[in-house]
């Protein structure tokens, strides 16, 4: 890496698409979940605060350079800017454009990477947060990923320190609240740790966004997966529950489990039934359910639980469709054309005829599910 560039890690939640990405750890502390392949070939590493601060300095360098090219009317002096850009390496250009895009989107939020950044000791992370906010005083929100096991590990005082230092939100992949499912997917944590960790984060005043995977328990734990997750959510009262419907990756350990007959997948519609059970089971009115990924069969479910009636109506609309119409909807949704059933009215008849033709090629359930999964795998 050149002296002016900074590292950019592989993943961030979709809600952090406009955030500046600051890497404070590399990889994942656990790296053994049977469905996950993100960090398979990388080793977990903590980046020391001195190195992170140097990266923050480099981010500030690109910000200052861009500001130095701003004219009095707010536009950019392109000649001056290109003069700098042509001297940059490819790596530096990538860093510059990250800062440029971030600032043109308001430059308000930062996401700390990678998979479990709160593994960095709270005292060290607090030091980094304070430095980041000093260098970029206009930042309004700093968020990061954190495993429930680590959330539970730190004390209430350490969480308060992180809050005071400027950490605003934790995204945590709970996947399921069921201990049976957590064991099956080798998540390396328990329901008790989820509740304990989640409560500590909330008590410190940090927003909590937890992720649920409809279908991750397969047919064996159908409904238990959703019901136990609702149980956990009701005990924590997180700010958001984000849906990430399970899609079996062909290079994952769970695919091998399926081949050995140890895991049977739920159908696309079965996974939607689990979303329904979760929404129905959550009793905390202020928890917002977020369906912000195309893998979810109904997309427009971004409401607080106090509006659960409307969310259930949209789900039931799809669940109660006759088979032919349901398959049309599944295809339209899996191709990203619609978010909910009411959007089907805008699809031209010839497109619907095409969907019918496609569906007729997969008359048996297995073939149909395999076809849908093939589409879904392009999104994960």
The Cβ of residue 3 has, within 10 Å, a number of other Cβ atoms equal to: 8
- Indicate whether 30 belongs to the interface with ligand SF4 (CB under 6 A): yes
Give the interface segment with ligand SF4, choosing from 18-26, 30-38, 93-101, 127-135 (CB under 6 A).
30-38
The Cβ of residue 24 has, within 10 Å, a number of other Cβ atoms equal to: 26
Between 99 and 120, name the residue whose CB sits nearer to ligand SF4: 120
**For residue 76, which phi and psi values (nearest 5 degrees)?**
-95, 135
Place of tokens 């978010």: 339
- Indicate whether 246 belongs to the interface with ligand SF4 (CB under 6 A): no
Alpha carbon of residue 194 to chain centroid? 17
Token pair listed for 275:
């979303």
- Indicate whether 197 belongs to the interface with ligand SF4 (CB under 6 A): no
Among 21, 24, 39, 119, binds ligand SF4 (CB under 6 A): 39
- Indicate whether 380 belongs to the interface with ligand SF4 (CB under 6 A): no
Between 119 and 289, name the residue whose CB sits nearer to ligand SF4: 119
Angle at which helix 49-68 crosses helix 122-135, to 10 degrees, equals 10
Token pair listed for 263:
């895991």
CB of 252 to ligand SF4, least distance (A): 10
- Indicate whether 38 belongs to the interface with ligand SF4 (CB under 6 A): yes
Give the interface segment with ligand SF4, choosing from 24-32, 126-134, 164-172, 303-311 (CB under 6 A).
24-32
- Indicate whether 80 belongs to the interface with ligand SF4 (CB under 6 A): no
Between 33 and 46, name the residue whose CB sits nearer to ligand SF4: 33
- Indicate whether 19 belongs to the interface with ligand SF4 (CB under 6 A): no
CB of 173 to ligand SF4, least distance (A): 5
Between 22 and 254, name the residue whose CB sits nearer to ligand SF4: 254
- Indicate whether 31 belongs to the interface with ligand SF4 (CB under 6 A): yes
CB of 270 to ligand SF4, least distance (A): 22
Among 36, 201, 230, 298, binds ligand SF4 (CB under 6 A): 36
> Which parts of the chain fold into alpha helices (H)?
49-68, 78-85, 90-104, 122-135, 148-153, 156-165, 179-184, 191-203, 224-236, 253-259, 268-281, 308-319, 323-334, 349-360, 365-376
303-304 and 288-290 strand pairing = antiparallel
Strand-pairing partners, residue 289, are: 241, 303
- Mask: binding to ligand SF4, 143-162, rule CB under 6 A, as x and -? ----x---------------
CB of 226 to ligand SF4, least distance (A): 19
Between 249 and 284, name the residue whose CB sits nearer to ligand SF4: 249
Residue 178, classed as helix, strand or coil, is coil
- Indicate whether 194 belongs to the interface with ligand SF4 (CB under 6 A): no
Note whether 198 and 210 are within 8 A (CB).
yes
What distance in Å separates the CA atoms of residue 353 and residue 350, rounded to the nearest whole number? 5
Token pair listed for 281:
């089971």
CB of 4 to ligand SF4, least distance (A): 29
Between 28 and 294, name the residue whose CB sits nearer to ligand SF4: 28
Between 31 and 291, name the residue whose CB sits nearer to ligand SF4: 31
> 135 to each of 36, 91, 130, 164, 200, how far by Cα in Å?
35, 22, 9, 17, 29
169-175 and 141-145 strand pairing = parallel
CB of 14 to ligand SF4, least distance (A): 16
Closest CA to 202 of 146, 243, 125, 124: 146
Between 149 and 339, name the residue whose CB sits nearer to ligand SF4: 149
- Mask: binding to ligand SF4, 160-179, rule CB under 6 A, as x and -? -------------x------
Give the interface segment with ligand SF4, choosing from 31-39, 246-254, 282-290, 354-362 (CB under 6 A).
31-39
Strand-pairing partners, residue 25, are: 46
> Which parts of 185-239 fold into alpha helices (H)?
191-203, 224-236
Q: Binding residues for ligand SF4, per CB under 6 A?
A: 28, 30-31, 33, 36, 38-39, 115, 147, 173
């Amino acid at each position: 890496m050149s002296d002016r560039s900074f590292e950019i890690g592989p993943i961030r939640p979709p809600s952090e698409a406009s955030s500046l990405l600051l890497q404070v750890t590399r990889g994942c502390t656990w790296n053994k979940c049977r469905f996950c392949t993100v960090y398979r070939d990388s080793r977990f590493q903590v980046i020391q605060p001195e190195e992170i601060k140097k990266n923050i300095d480099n981010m500030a360098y690109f910000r200052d350079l861009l500001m130095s090219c701003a004219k009095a009317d707010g536009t950019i002096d392109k000649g001056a800017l290109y003069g700098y850009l042509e001297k940059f390496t490819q790596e530096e250009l990538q860093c510059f454009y990250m800062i440029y895009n971030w600032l043109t989107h308001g430059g308000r939020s930062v996401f700390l990477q990678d998979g479990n950044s709160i593994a960095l000791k709270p005292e060290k992370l607090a030091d980094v947060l304070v430095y980041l906010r000093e260098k970029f005083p206009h930042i309004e929100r700093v968020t990061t990923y954190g495993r429930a096991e680590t959330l539970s590990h730190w004390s209430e005082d350490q969480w308060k320190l992180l809050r005071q230092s400027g950490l605003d939100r934790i995204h945590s992949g709970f996947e399921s609240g069921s201990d049976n499912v957590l064991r099956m997917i080798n998540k390396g944590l328990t329901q008790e740790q989820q509740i304990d960790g989640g409560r500590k984060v909330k008590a410190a005043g940090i927003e909590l966004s937890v992720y649920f995977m409809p279908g991750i328990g397969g047919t064996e734990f159908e409904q238990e997966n959703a019901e136990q997750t609702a149980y956990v959510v009701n005990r924590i009262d997180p700010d958001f529950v984000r849906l990430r419907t399970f899609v079996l990756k062909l290079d994952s350990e769970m695919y091998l489990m399926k081949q050995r007959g140890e895991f049977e997948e739920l159908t696309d519609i079965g996974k939607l039934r689990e979303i329904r059970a979760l929404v129905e089971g959550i009793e905390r009115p202020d928890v917002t359910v977020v369906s912000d990924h195309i893998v979810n069969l109904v997309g427009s479910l971004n409401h607080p639980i106090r509006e659960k009636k409307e969310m259930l109506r949209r789900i039931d609309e799809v669940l109660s469709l006759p088979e032919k119409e349901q398959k049309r909807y599944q295809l339209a949704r899996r191709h990203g054309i619609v978010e909910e059933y009411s959007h089907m009215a805008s699809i031209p008849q010839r497109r619907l005829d095409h969907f019918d033709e496609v569906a007729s090629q997969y008359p048996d359930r297995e073939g149909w599910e395999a076809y849908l999964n093939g589409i879904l795998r392009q999104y994960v």
